[in-house]
Structure 1
Amino acid sequence: MRRRTTAALAALGVAPAVMLGGCAAPPELLRAEGVARADAAVAEFPAEIDALRHSAFTLGAAMLAAAPEQNQVTGPVSLLYAVAMLRAGAGGTTAEEMDKALGLPEQNLDAALNSLLAQWEEFDGDPGSVDEEEPPGKPLMHLANGVFVDAQTPTGDNYLRLLAEHYGSGVYPVDYSAPSTKAAMDAWVDRHTGGRITEAPGSYDPGNTLTLLNAVYFAAAWEQPFDPSATEDADFTTASGEKVSVPMMGNLVQAWYARGTGWQGLDLPYGDGFVMRLVLPDGGSPVLDQAGLAEVATVMDDAAEALVVLELPRWNHTHRQDLLPILRGLGLDETFGPDPDLEAIQQDASVTGAAQQANITVGEKGTIAAAVTQLDVMSGSLPPQPDIELSFDRPFLYQIIHLPTGFPLFLGTVMDPR
């Protein structure tokens, strides 16, 4: 007989009576009694936080490289927290692979991420309170971690305790076979993105037994807003060389400017240390790899303040990505393969899905953006994976053969199956 997750949660002080919710509202967050978030010394982990910054750029560069011809908006910090929550339950060669591929700090990973949360807490607030027509003068940055677990599947209590201590996440016990569970996940996403994203980005599988969710929401007014009356239609040359007419905002701004090798950059301030970093290549694609992003960061660290006549288009973009091929492409074959060491999470656990959805609106008054990352885990053996995918989506030949004699009873072609 399987031991229930109820037992593990009870050991953490969570009452079984409120285990399952049957409504579409997000289930109540169950925090383990006596397992408060660990104290986070903001300046205690400088080396680890520097490593995590590089990890975020590594993840962001990989996401950008996956769709270089599209309008993209990605959430590297969102993916970093989701992957780190998975790493918290990894062992053996799986943990080693994650650390090496992503450049994660060898020690104090969870404590350093908790320290980052502490640094950002002064900007936390309710995304639902933001008037998107009037972005807040003080930037609002909201980061949330959610852990949905199947109440009938044994889940490591030490793992749940670690997530409560360092990621501020409780546990949402659910029944994956119930339709209300997807609705509950969607409601969680909606709540933590202020309605900008209304559904969890991954496809829902009732066979899953654990889901890690991270949401990052950002809203801020420009320190020097653009005058809407100065916005005029102007030409924009697309990647294909086509010239199109778009609304182009105009402003005279005091900002940090620098020129690198083959590009120039501008840090356009919001306030309280937040900026939008704009990088304009002299030619070619604006998509940079991790080394390119690191170079931009280094050069912009020494940027000089300048008075800039700025023309910037408005944009409003949404982007969704399947993250499994991207993460495997970083060398995480074991972690996101059929047999990782995630025993600290659940027995025979493996990741069945990874996805992110993000969006951004940039206009004269400021910026609103949100990203949600979802990692799904299944306990038990995965169904067998096909060796080949074959689609007869073009003309083909067919035969009906009597195998003992090899004679073709019928032979034909399908040129148009209508």
Structure 2
Amino acid sequence: MKTIILLLLAFMLTSISSCQKNDVQPPENNIIDLDEKSAKLIEADNEFGLEMFQKVREDNDDENIMISPLSISVALAMAYKGADGDTKTEMEKAMKLNGLTTDEINTSYKMLISALQSLDEDVFFEIANAIFYADIMEVKPGFLDVNKTVYEAEIERLDFSSPGAVNTINDWVTEKTNDKITKIIELLDPLDRMVLLNAIYFNGIWTNEFDEEGTHELDFNKPDGTTIKVPMMNKLENLDYTANSLFKAIKMPYGNGQYNMVIFLPETGKNSQNVIDELSAASWKKWMDEFEKTDRVDITMPRFKFEFEAGLNDLLKKMGMQKAFIPEVADFSKISDVELYISAVKHKSFIDVNETGTEAAAVTSITFTTTSIGNEPQKVPFFVNKPFVFAITENNTDAILFIGEVQNPEYDE
């Protein structure tokens, strides 16, 4: 009899454990205590990011797009530290920073970057910054110091004329994105003088994971009216939910719930572009305030994984940041006495959403270029157009390993 009772208890405990498996309650969250200026900065970043996202969609035919507003904002904020005059004013307006002083921006970003990276042991979130600059250019210490202190930027002086400089920059990107983005710079122009970088990497486990056995091939309707079969994940969960005439939306938490994925599902007769059209700082705040904890939300959604990249020069110009891109007009005199302008702002992103969680990465690069050679050391011409002698030697001992003469430089494939 005791054996039967013990078996029944074991069965009941196993059943209870199984039922609770997909409704795990996250532990108590860490709280980021924002002061007024930090809250204003986040609002500015959100407004800037939502407008940028709208313009990226307008400008791209790609079926899937993704940007990191935080990555773009931080990279531009680092560049902003070197701007002055009308260039600085235009950047402030484009980035929605009006009303915030430079010190307030610095203090708020320093707090925010530190806080975001220490919220949840089940979510790995890293923000990294770097400045690589040409060894023939002198950079003002104040610009480097503020970016090192506020943004914890890694700073490295490179020989931009060396092929290895591009590899050094891309290797940094590869490391900081955990191999998800491996290249942001194709080549460096002879007049390029600085590459400023921000990288963000996120890897979060769902608070309640999808059961892989519940994933099945189901129909997915594309915007052009065609239907395709895709793996659809499914789970039943108690989570934050809201609905209005435009969309239904859920917040799916990662780890202890400090990070979420928000999914907006357009209502019948609406589409995702309708949702994008309504994005603004005000609507976003309103929508986020309307979420309520809801029992038994039956989620069916596809896995997805894709990469995206975009050049942001034209989009930033449309947002009012014009002079920063114009040679001999841009004012980045707080970076260097060398005349600089922004020649390229590039953004790359990666995301993988599956039954376990989400892995995402983004990189923003800003390339500064000079308008002239300036004080660059004069090059000595060396034009090998006649027979020559060559040698291969060992550096420390000067030992000659190979020596020869070329009178006819033939080369057979």
The TM-score bracket by the shorter chain reads: 0.7 to 0.9
The structure with the larger Rg is 2
Question: Equivalents in 2 of 1:86, 1:334: separation in Å?
Answer: 13
Given candidates 320, 324, 329, the residue that maps to 2:309 is 320
* Contact 1:340-1:349 at 8 Å conserved across structures: yes
- CA 1:71/1:168 → structure 2, altered by over 3 Å: closer, same or farther? same
Partner of 1:285: 272
* Contact 1:57-1:290 at 8 Å conserved across structures: no
Q: Does 1:349 align with 2:340?
A: yes
Q: Does 1:274 align with 2:274?
A: no
Give runs of aligned pairs for residues 182-331 of structure 1, distance below 5 A.
182-201=166-185, 203-272=187-256, 273-282=258-267, 283-286=270-273, 288-289=276-277, 291-292=279-280, 294-306=282-294, 307-331=296-320
SS of equivalent to 1:235: strand
* Contact 2:305-2:352 at 8 Å conserved across structures: yes
- Give the Å deviation of 1:289: 4.3
Q: Does 1:121 align with 2:121?
A: no
Paired residue total: 331
- Give the Å deviation of 1:201: 5.0
Q: Normalising to structure 2: TM-score of the pair?
A: 0.75
Partner of 2:107: 111
- Give the Å deviation of 1:231: 0.4
- CA 1:176/1:278 → structure 2, altered by over 3 Å: closer, same or farther? same
- Give the Å deviation of 1:317: 0.6
- CA 1:337/1:260 → structure 2, altered by over 3 Å: closer, same or farther? farther
Give runs of aligned pairs for residues 94-105 of structure 1, distance below 5 A.
94-105=87-98
Cα offsets for 1:41-66 (capped at 9, x unmatched)? 96473333333332333333333332
* Contact 2:204-2:358 at 8 Å conserved across structures: yes
Question: Equivalents in 1 of 2:284, 2:42: separation in Å?
Answer: 18
Question: Equivalents in 1 of 2:179, 2:289: separation in Å?
Answer: 35
SS of equivalent to 2:325: coil
- CA 1:363/1:67 → structure 2, altered by over 3 Å: closer, same or farther? same
* Contact 1:202-1:374 at 8 Å conserved across structures: no
Partner of 2:24: none
- CA 1:233/1:41 → structure 2, altered by over 3 Å: closer, same or farther? closer
Q: Normalising to structure 1: TM-score of the pair?
A: 0.75
Greater CA drift, 167-176 or 56-65: 56-65
* Contact 1:90-1:342 at 8 Å conserved across structures: yes
Question: Equivalents in 1 of 2:139, 2:47: separation in Å?
Answer: 31
Question: Equivalents in 2 of 1:349, 1:41: separation in Å?
Answer: 38
Identity of aligned residues (%): 26
Q: Does 1:340 align with 2:330?
A: yes
Question: Equivalents in 2 of 1:52, 1:269: separation in Å?
Answer: 22
Cα offsets for 1:169-213 (capped at 9, x unmatched)? 131100110011001011100110111111125653343100001
Question: Equivalents in 2 of 1:248, 1:293: separation in Å?
Answer: 32
Off by >6 Å, runs of 4+ in structure 1 = none
CA-atom RMSD in angstroms? 2.2
